[in-house]
Structure 1
Amino acid sequence: MEGWPVTERFLGARLDQLLLKQRVVAENIANANTPGYKRKDVTFPAELERAGARLPVWRTHPEHLPVSAPEGGPRVVVDSTTVMRNDINNVDVEKETASLAQAQILYNALVEQLNRGYKRISLAVREGRA
């Protein structure tokens, strides 16, 4: 299970980002009929790379290069580039619903991945006792 703590933290960070994404999309859907509302989105593909870079890295040799990571986490940004209706609202409910479903599917897959890792650890512990 070498590397599991790093993988666990990486998956945990991604799950947190997906929860934020789901909250933002739910807010967009809730405001679909609010005049002047601008949809929001979460920037995290680049943020995910940063999260991976922030994970602890052990230098096993003094000549290995040190790793530095940029600061910051996922950000909620307002999409002011589009207009869907005359009242300036730019929420497309179908697009938001698809985005919500995509985030939920990915979230479930990552939870399953975490569960598999925990099961492997549990099996290793049980087998070690026998």
Structure 2
Amino acid sequence: MKLFSGSFHTIERSLNYSALKHEITAQNIANADTPNYKGKKVSFEKVFNDTISAAKIRITDPRHIKGSRQINPAITLSDRRVQYSHNGNNVDIDKEMSNLASNQIYYSILTERLSGKFNSLQNVIKGGK
């Protein structure tokens, strides 16, 4: 019998993704004035699609994906042709701050969901009391 459902693992992986995204965004913000710094971003969708196509999985419905493949987000450099300042830097501080705020909301939702899962588990252990 599995003690924890797959949702714990999914939430854990999502929290790891959010933490990595926060770290990369914070690096971009910290280097917004660094000459010739090229911003980075975390790309999950590209890695996911590459993994699915490499495995030759035919998906009839996105909710039907089975298996326990390890899919990790990739850190990629943003478009090098775009520059937002005269010193060769391509970090858009407004976009990065927006990304940081949306990632914080995503992280908060995940932690609330995880807390709810543990509260449910605690309720079961206590026998509903």
TM-score range, shorter chain: 0.7 to 0.9
User: Counterpart of 2:36?
Assistant: 36
Work out whether residues 25 and 41 of structure 1, in 8 Å CA contact, stay in contact via their aligned partners in 2: yes
Deviations 1:96-116 (A, max 9, x none): 011001111100100100110
- Deviation beyond 3 Å, 4+ runs, structure 1: 45-51, 66-69
* Structure 1: gaps spanning 5 or more residues: 52-65
Deviations 1:24-49 (A, max 9, x none): 00000000000100110001235568
User: Counterpart of 1:97?
Assistant: 97
User: Counterpart of 2:72?
Assistant: 73
Normalized against structure 2, the TM-score is what?
0.75
* Structure 2: gaps spanning 5 or more residues: 52-65
Deviations 1:70-125 (A, max 9, x none): x5511111112421122210111111011001111100100100110110111011
Cα RMSD of the aligned pairs, angstroms, is: 2.8
Normalized against structure 1, the TM-score is what?
0.75
User: Counterpart of 2:58?
Assistant: none
Distance 1:9 1:35, change over 3 A: same
Size of the aligned set, in residue pairs, is 113
User: Counterpart of 1:120?
Assistant: 120
Moved more, 111-120 or 39-48: 39-48
Work out whether residues 41 and 77 of structure 1, in 8 Å CA contact, stay in contact via their aligned partners in 2: yes
Q: Percent identity?
A: 29
Distance 1:35 1:73, change over 3 A: same
- Residue 127 of structure 1 and its aligned partner are, at CA, apart by 1.3
User: Counterpart of 2:60?
Assistant: none
Distance 1:98 1:87, change over 3 A: same
Work out whether residues 32 and 92 of structure 2, in 8 Å CA contact, stay in contact via their aligned partners in 1: yes
Distance 1:21 1:83, change over 3 A: same
Distance 1:125 1:49, change over 3 A: farther
Distance 1:26 1:4, change over 3 A: same
